[in-house]
Structure 1
Amino acid sequence: MNYNRKDYSDDELISLYRAILKPRMIEERMLVLLRQGKVSKWFSGIGQEAISVGSAMALEQDEYILPLHRNLGVFTSRNVPLDRLFAQFQGKKTGFTKGRDRSFHFGSNEHHIVGMISHLGPQLAVADGIALADLLDKKEKVTLVYSGDGGASEGDFHEALNVAAVWGLPVIFMIENNGYGLSTPSNEQFKFKQFIDKGPAYGMDALQIDGNNLLEVYHTVRQTAASMRKNPRPVLIEAMTFRMRGHEEASGTKYVPQELFEKWAKKDPVENYEKFLLDELVLTPKAVETIRDEIKAEIEAGLQTAFATPMPVADKQEEIADMYKPYVQQPVAPASGAKTEKRFVDAISDGLRQSMERYPELVLMGQDIAEYGGVFKVTEGFVEKFGKERVRNTPLCESAILGIGLGMSVKGKKSMVEMQFADFVSVGFNQIVNNLAKSHYRWGQHADVVVRMPTGAGTAAGPFHSQSNEAWFFHTPGLKIVYPSSPYDAKGLLNAAIEDPNPVMYFEHKLLYRSISQEIPDDYYTVEIGKAKTVAEGEDLSIITYGMGVHWAKQLQQEMPGTSIEILDLRSLLPWDKEAVRNTVAKTGRVIILHEDTLTGGIGGEIAAWIAENCFEHLDGPVARVASLDTAIPFAPPLEAEFLPKQRLREKVEAILAY
């Protein structure tokens, strides 16, 4: 292996030696602990340390790095305290996730590291978001994110690189090409010859380096980053390397030809670099021994502290509370009494505009939302008022844009991501339920992201533009869900959602956009998330509903003047207002839960179960549900009308009243 020390001083070379030796010595110790049952699992980076250490040491300390399984050298190079690192590996509360996640599934803003999730690809878009925030703040910084050759097969890889290229984001995409995705060799992962062939296709520079040559990695990343700070753009670096142990220790290495181990053992990044420094007289054998002794002492001290720490004691209240960033909403009343008649769509637009004025750190992202104003014209005129940096057209890559929202949160920004239709969120589902929702619980990083979801049927738009998919997210702790039914609530809940530092799914029914209007305050105001609203008082029966269901219930109330129907609009679905539900059940004793979503697995089932468990003594009849058919949403209007629950509502009301 050929090393070129260039003009680096002896001290710099020794510093790199210490940096690459430490993760190797930690790994060797961890393998012993694994066999002793003191660590539950280990993903070895032996043979690949030069990539982690060289790239981490080449960046400035306040530039973010997003590592993977085999990047222990990133954490040690950023001087993460070993006692906390070892506590993390053992599931202790003094680790970075309080025992809630393992190995490198954590981040630390103090050390400018954002850890991975097991899905491998989503962190690439998070890196885009961090870089975008730096770009917007005119900071000359770069962000570095790793991907394995196997993980690069994920769609997130394509989306993140595509957006970074289109937006000119200063991200280094470091591809650790070790020839295998777990046991699957490269020729079964992809047909191209090398990853640097991908760079020009995306419109970005691409470099290939010897990933086992510490000085080559260090110098390449250092020079590349310096250039990117002055000329922001993404760069792909392919680091050729080899994994000397299994994907994780339990998987073994029998699937790898022995000759590959023999070949790459000669390219060991630690041994070769140490030999180079000895040959160059930068180090002496005595100095090597001294450095090893110092690192060994540091490792043992860290282990002693971690071992002495007891396993966490479960605290139910703390576990539940930590799903969300602590936040107590203080509802904002309008500053004056001025009001204007506004349609539902205008109220959403008004709230979004006033939130943009109120929060300079707020950025809007979505397909066609800039000059075109979005397919429903919610953001029409926003580019002229706020500029294209804050009102951003996005490529067709929902997953990347949602991940960018989390990355922006890391840097203190707020994001609104518009799904062109709620149906399209399925291709970004992983980012929402595994990244945005779990981030605060795992390592204390909130996701200040609002996802706007134009939803609902009634427009004969068929199976892919009409779904009610709020129940997909209702099951996911860490998210909040709001679903207004009136222009007043549409504006107030949107403002509240943007104000809230937690991820909020904001559902807006398309059929309401231009079909209803209401006199609402001109000024900025918020509606409290988690509070239901009684839109009609009644004595005989309660209809608990939300969204379009509120209007179906109101229409039925007019058609049955002899029946006293109470209508409770939930407005918020996660959290939902249990006290308001209890009160209306106690008042009328008869309850119907109505929603546009399909019956099976709908939100109504959870509310009905809660009523049965907590309000049984108030009931004068069974809790009933009225919902759409358990089919996909059909296109033809007669079929759609049969699918929707509106025509079945009266029958159910009459049945419950007659019980």
Structure 2
Amino acid sequence: MYFERAHISDGELLAFYKALLYPRLVEEKMLLLLRQGKVSKWFSGIGQEAIAVGATLALDNDEWILPLHRNLGVFTARQMPLQQLFHQWQGSPLGFSKGRERSFHFGSRQHHICGMISHLGPQLSIADGISLAHKLKKEDKVSLAFTGEGGTSEGEFHEALNVAAVWDLPVIFLIENNGYGLSTPVEEQYRCEQLVQRAAGYGMRGMRINGNNLLEVYHAIKEAKRHALHEQQPVLIEAMTFRMRGHEEASGTKYVPPALLEEWARQDPIQHFEGFLQFLQLINEEGIHDIREALKHEIDREINTALAEVSPPVSEADELKDIYAPAPSPIPPVAGAATHDKRFIDAISEGLDQAMVQYPNLILMGQDIAEYGGAFKITDGFVARYGKERVRNTPLCESAIVGAGLGLSLMGYKSMVEMQFADFVTCGFNQIVNNLAKIHYRWGQTADVVVRLPAGAGVGAGPFHSQSNEAWFTHVPGLKIVYPATPADAKGLLLAAFADPNPVLYFEHKALYRSISGPVPEAPYTIEIGKANLIQTGDDISIITYGAGVHWALEYSKQHPQLSIHILDLRTLLPLDYEAIREAVTATGKVLILHEDTLTGGLGGEISAWIAEHCFALLDAPVMRCAGLDTPVPFAASLEKNFLAKTRMHQYIEQLANY
């Protein structure tokens, strides 16, 4: 193995050696503790340390790294305290994730490390968002995202590389090609001879390196950073290495030919670097022994201290508190302030426009939202006012753009991602429910991202442009979900969503865009997320609803003046306003839950269960649900009308009234 020293001093070479050796010795200690039952699981990076250490040493300490399971060297080279790392591996509340995550599924803002999720690919597009922020700030910084050769098979790999290339982002994508994805060998992962060949397809530079050569990794990352910043382009690096132990310790390596393990054992990065230092006469066998013993003593001291510490008791209140970051108090409209009549769609556009003024760090992203103004023209004219840096057309890649939004959040930016139709959110589902929703609970990082979703039927758009899919997300702790029904609420809730540092899904019903108008305060204001709106009081029947259902209920009430109908607009679907729901039950004792979404699995089931559990004594009749048919949304007007819950309201209300 040839080592190119270049301009690295003797002292730096010895420091590099300690940085390379340290994670190996930590791992050896962890494997011992694993056998003793003091840690529950371990993903070994033995034999791959040169990649993590070399890459980290080549970057500035304030440049973000997005590592994977086997990159202990990233954490140690960034000098994260071993004592706290060990608590992390134990699942102790004293760890970086307070016991909520395993092994390396955590991050640290202080150390500019973003924690992975088990799905492997999503961290790549987070790196896009980080580098976009550097680019917007005119900072000469890169981000670096790790992936394995198996991860390159995921769609997120393509999306992230394509976005980085199209947007000219200084991102380094580093593939650790260690031969196996769990037990699947590379010949079952891809057909190209080398993964680095894929770089040409994205118009970016590609480099293939020996991942077991510490200095080759170091110089390659330095060169990749120089190129990325000078050319304002991403770089793809394929680092060849091998996984010497099981995917995790319990899985073993029986599927690996013994000769292959022997071949790669002879390429051990630490042994070769020790030989290089001995060749330079910077160290001898005694010096190697002394360094190893000193590091082992340091490791033992840190681990023993951690083992002696007593973890605090579990607190249900703390667990629930950390689901969300604190949100600012609402800013209601000034009493008597000027209002103007606005259509629903114009109220959204005005709220978005005022948010762009209020938050200079707000970035809008979506398909066709720039010069074209979006599919519904909500951002028409925004490019002229705010420029293409802040109003960004995206490729067709919902997942990568949501991930980029999270990356922007790591850098202190706010972002809005527009789904052209709510139906298309399926392509970004993983990022929303596993990255955005969980990140604050996992390691205290906010996801300051608003996802706008034009939803709903009634416009003859068929099964893939008409869904009401809000219930998919109400099961996900960490998200906030709003669904306005009036122009005033549309603006106030949108501005509240931007003020809130948590991820907010903002559903807007397409059928309301141009059919509903109402008074909207001119000045910016916010409506409290999590607070329902009492539309009208009544004594006979309570209708609990949201979105288009509010207008169905109002229309029905006007057509049937003999009934006194209490109408509650939930406005926020997560978190729910349970106190308002209780008051609606108390008002009449008869409850109809009305929503456009299909009946089975709809939000009405959760609300009715809560009422049955907490308000049973207040009921004078069974809680009833009126919802869409359990079918996809059909295209033909007669079929779509039959699908909608509005067509069945009367029979449910009559049944309740006569109970």
TM-score bin (small chain): over 0.9
Q: 1:220 aligns to what? A: 220
1:349 Cα shift? 0.2
Q: In 2, Cα distance between the equivalents of 1:235 and 1:335?
A: 55
Q: 2:406 aligns to what? A: 406
Return the letter of the residue paired with 2:209.
I
Checking the alignment, whether the CA contact within 8 Å between 2:142 and 2:170 is kept in structure 1 is yes
Q: In 1, Cα distance between the equivalents of 2:171 and 2:335?
A: 43
Q: 1:357 aligns to what? A: 357
1:25 Cα shift? 0.5
Return the letter of the residue paired with 1:17.
Y
Q: 1:583 aligns to what? A: 583
TM-score w.r.t. structure 1 length? 0.99
1:336 Cα shift? 6.8
Q: 1:28 aligns to what? A: 28
Q: 2:558 aligns to what? A: 558
CA displacement 1:390-421 (0-9 Å, x = unmatched): 00000000000001111111111101100000
1:331 Cα shift? 2.3
Tell me the secondary structure at the aligned position of residue 212 of structure 1. Answer: coil
1:611 Cα shift? 1.0
Q: In 2, Cα distance between the equivalents of 1:336 and 1:128?
A: 45
Q: How does 1:589-604 map to 2 (within 5 A)?
A: 589-604=589-604
Q: 1:52 aligns to what? A: 52
1:125 Cα shift? 0.6
Q: 1:111 aligns to what? A: 111
Q: How does 1:40-119 map to 2 (within 5 A)?
A: 40-119=40-119
Q: Report percent identity of matched pairs.
A: 63
1:334 Cα shift? 4.3
1:631 aligns with 2:604: no
1:615 aligns with 2:615: yes
Q: 1:545 aligns to what? A: 545
Q: 2:287 aligns to what? A: 287
Q: In 2, Cα distance between the equivalents of 1:260 and 1:2?
A: 21
The count of corresponding residues between Structure 1 and Structure 2 is 659
Q: In 2, Cα distance between the equivalents of 1:609 and 1:594?
A: 15
Q: In 2, Cα distance between the equivalents of 1:576 and 1:32?
A: 48
Q: How does 1:255-334 map to 2 (within 5 A)?
A: 255-334=255-334
Q: In 2, Cα distance between the equivalents of 1:285 and 1:583?
A: 78
Tell me the secondary structure at the aligned position of residue 326 of structure 2. Answer: coil
Checking the alignment, whether the CA contact within 8 Å between 1:98 and 1:312 is kept in structure 2 is no
CA displacement 1:491-514 (0-9 Å, x = unmatched): 000000011000000000000000
Checking the alignment, whether the CA contact within 8 Å between 1:334 and 1:524 is kept in structure 2 is no
CA displacement 1:461-515 (0-9 Å, x = unmatched): 1111000000000000000000000000000000000110000000000000001
Tell me the secondary structure at the aligned position of residue 452 of structure 1. Answer: strand
1:47 Cα shift? 0.9
CA displacement 1:71-98 (0-9 Å, x = unmatched): 0000000000000011100011111000
Q: In 2, Cα distance between the equivalents of 1:597 and 1:254?
A: 50
Checking the alignment, whether the CA contact within 8 Å between 1:341 and 1:519 is kept in structure 2 is yes
Q: How does 1:561-572 map to 2 (within 5 A)?
A: 561-572=561-572
Q: How does 1:144-293 map to 2 (within 5 A)?
A: 144-293=144-293
Return the letter of the residue paired with 1:407.
G
Q: 1:645 aligns to what? A: 645
Q: In 2, Cα distance between the equivalents of 1:108 and 1:533?
A: 39
Checking the alignment, whether the CA contact within 8 Å between 1:335 and 1:523 is kept in structure 2 is no
Return the letter of the residue paired with 2:645.
P
Tell me the secondary structure at the aligned position of residue 173 of structure 1. Answer: strand
Q: 1:462 aligns to what? A: 462
1:422 Cα shift? 0.3
Q: In 2, Cα distance between the equivalents of 1:165 and 1:185?
A: 29
Return the letter of the residue paired with 1:218.
Y
Tell me the secondary structure at the aligned position of residue 337 of structure 1. Answer: coil
1:7 aligns with 2:7: yes
Q: In 1, Cα distance between the equivalents of 2:607 and 2:364?
A: 34
Q: In 2, Cα distance between the equivalents of 1:390 and 1:63?
A: 23
Tell me the secondary structure at the aligned position of residue 494 of structure 1. Answer: helix
Q: 2:573 aligns to what? A: 573
Aligned-residue Cα RMSD (Å) equals: 1.0
Checking the alignment, whether the CA contact within 8 Å between 2:370 and 2:393 is kept in structure 1 is yes
Tell me the secondary structure at the aligned position of residue 133 of structure 2. Answer: helix
Checking the alignment, whether the CA contact within 8 Å between 1:92 and 1:310 is kept in structure 2 is no
Tell me the secondary structure at the aligned position of residue 563 of structure 1. Answer: coil
CA displacement 1:170-211 (0-9 Å, x = unmatched): 110000011111111111111111111100101100000011
1:312 Cα shift? 4.7
Tell me the secondary structure at the aligned position of residue 5 of structure 2. Answer: coil
CA displacement 1:330-389 (0-9 Å, x = unmatched): 324248722221100000000000000000011000000000000000000000000000
Tell me the secondary structure at the aligned position of residue 147 of structure 1. Answer: strand
TM-score w.r.t. structure 2 length? 0.99
Tell me the secondary structure at the aligned position of residue 566 of structure 2. Answer: strand
1:15 Cα shift? 1.0
Checking the alignment, whether the CA contact within 8 Å between 1:335 and 1:524 is kept in structure 2 is no
Q: In 2, Cα distance between the equivalents of 1:381 and 1:434?
A: 34
* Greater alpha carbon shift after TM alignment, 467-476 vs 253-262: 253-262
Q: 1:415 aligns to what? A: 415
1:286 Cα shift? 2.5
Q: 1:424 aligns to what? A: 424
Tell me the secondary structure at the aligned position of residue 162 of structure 2. Answer: helix
CA displacement 1:510-562 (0-9 Å, x = unmatched): 00000111121111111111111111221111100000000111111111111
1:231 Cα shift? 3.1
Tell me the secondary structure at the aligned position of residue 247 of structure 1. Answer: coil
Q: In 2, Cα distance between the equivalents of 1:299 and 1:336?
A: 66
Q: In 1, Cα distance between the equivalents of 2:225 and 2:533?
A: 54
Q: In 1, Cα distance between the equivalents of 2:298 and 2:186?
A: 38
Q: In 2, Cα distance between the equivalents of 1:227 and 1:549?
A: 55
Q: In 2, Cα distance between the equivalents of 1:309 and 1:371?
A: 59
Checking the alignment, whether the CA contact within 8 Å between 2:328 and 2:499 is kept in structure 1 is no
Tell me the secondary structure at the aligned position of residue 505 of structure 2. Answer: strand
Q: How does 1:474-553 map to 2 (within 5 A)?
A: 474-553=474-553
Tell me the secondary structure at the aligned position of residue 50 of structure 1. Answer: helix
Return the letter of the residue paired with 1:223.
E
Q: In 1, Cα distance between the equivalents of 2:428 and 2:329?
A: 28
Checking the alignment, whether the CA contact within 8 Å between 1:541 and 1:657 is kept in structure 2 is yes
Q: In 1, Cα distance between the equivalents of 2:103 and 2:636?
A: 52
